Structure 1
Amino acid sequence: MKTTLKINATNASESIKKSIPFPFRCLVLATLFMVTLSSCNDDDVQQTPPVSIDCKTRPDRISFGGDITDIAYNTENQLIKITKSDYNIAAPTQPPVISEYTIEYNAQGNASKVSKSIDNQLELYYQLEYDPSGKLAKQSEFNAQGALVAYTTPQYDANSVLTNITTHKEGTSIEVTSSYQYLDGNLVKKSVQNLFDLDSQEYYTADYTYTYFLDKENKVEPYFEGPLGLLFISNLSNQESLQYLPKSPIHQLAFARETPSETKMLKNIEIIAYRYSTQDTTHIDYSYDYDTDGFPTVQRGNYENVTRRYVPTPFGGTVLLVTPTTNALESTVNFSCN
């Protein structure tokens, strides 16, 4: 396994299957690619045996770079637990952060509750409600004490394709809304309104534009997608930053599908945030190596943006600090099955 992280920044940006009903279908949080990786040197005496396609699409363990995800299923072959061990790139000798997601199902086989724990401490949980046709109708987020934090409702078109989500955070009157546009089955644009910037203390709008490698089929399915997946990725109700700009760049650059209709490999994301009286633009470019079955074996990402934040001055008041930021990531992925 080879993982190379290159960072060049004056101020680095802040730093989960087929049996699973919408909005769950196996991933990579941010996307952990299910691929085979066999590596050896001249001194190796054993070769890693090939891994079947069945294992690539339903593994028990996935490693993305240095991070490891263990996956458990029940007797009905439903995903019931995801355990992620995330290492701090800046402090590789420190123990990993262990995140555990447990999934409960209702009598109809739909996921009804997802709980998230960090280092064995419950952090939050989601409860899900469905309409008579089986589509997710509402997702409610609760803190560890059981208090409602936020709820999200989706909208679909006549073909059951996700077109909008609305997230309401308790204690506020502002709702975060996202609208989706598609072309040939692929998500090409998302517009998010009422994002909140903690630094400037203002609400703003952001547009996301997506392009794809049209000759490469996306054979990787995410653990979570749709309204629940979007909150796992961006946590719109609690984070001040844009989606795709998380605290850990390794998860950012790991491509995660937002909707179930995307069919091609993601090539680029452009994010334009209309804040600080300007168009704050971010670019993330992706490239991949593939195995003979068409699954990605290596993912590369290049990230460029300009970070803007207000900082206090020695003489009182604040000044807007503008800092260019670039990150580069290259990660291979191993997976295995018992």
Structure 2
Amino acid sequence: MEIITRAQWGARPWNGTPNTVPLSRRTEFFVHHDGESPITRTGYAIMRAIEATHIGQGWAGVGYNFVIDQAGNVYEGRGWGFQGAHCPDHNTTGIGVQIAVGGGQTPSAAALAACRALYEEACQKTGRSLAKKGHRDGVATECPGKQLYAWVQAGMPAGDYKPSPGPGGTPGPGSDGTARYQVTIGGLTYGYGAQGAHVTKVGEALVRKGFGRHYTSGPGPVWTDVDTANYSDYQRSLGYTGDAADGVPGEDSLRKLLGTAPTPSGLPPYPGREAFGPGKSNTHIQRLGEQLVRRGFGRHYSVGPSPQWGESDRRNVADFQRSRSELAGDADGYPGPLTWKLLFS
């Protein structure tokens, strides 16, 4: 979809570059409004006013990932790759979107359709169904106001807007309404076609909680439409409706089902010192960078993390090492076994 970039609307240089966040970390989509005062500005002036306020608060720039005006224009704030500053404890997992209304203003049909389209784009980019939330779902606040919050709770309907195909360009819901795409949570894949002992574990947990009526055999290690149907029943029992009860796990519902955060078992094995340094390129470097971002040590990335070792990786590792007394005397930016263990623990 068309997004008006920071350069187009005339953003100032960042007041200190925000941390980067890989799309794999995004699990939520937060809707905000502007507060108790009606919005009277239009066009680029909306973004410049928000930017001035947020920089005045000491932030790097606009705190939202995107802003949508009443004409349905979508403006880039932090964008897809930078950590937001819109909801404490949800700035890495959540994509924050302000619909530029306030003081009881009614959001336009164009604004709501643009927001829904942006949500669909976010789901495609992340490869999962993001949880639809209002700002008040993450922190004690009246935001995004009664009208917008009711819209979010209703599943973010947008008139004649037709959702795009499912994430990754694969088919979305089949003709029977069954969602046929996958999500990755805690390094494990769930949804149609996913395989592994963790899939069996979800099925067994559904049966224990009374949501196994669609099984005629199993559960087994391959996720099928039957697993999706049972999971959808479970989601509805939690109060989810519409797209939020599509039968594809989200992090919150999966945590409630299993009683713990879904993660691969065990610490990822240390690949050896030779895996890191100038000229190296491998999946271990990518994993290292993504974990640094999760732990809040990604400020030197301007793009990435990526499989290619760079000076930004070394500097971020050094920041983490200096933050730990066990490592502070040897903060050279190259991960040894102890750095690896402490980072991933």
TM-score interval, normalised by the smaller of the two chains: under 0.3
Greater share of helix residues, 1 or 2?
Answer: 2
Bigger CA radius of gyration: 2
**TM-score, normalised via structure 2 length:** 0.23
**TM-score, normalised via structure 1 length:** 0.23
Which structure has the higher relative contact order (CA within 8 Å, separation 6+)?
Answer: 1
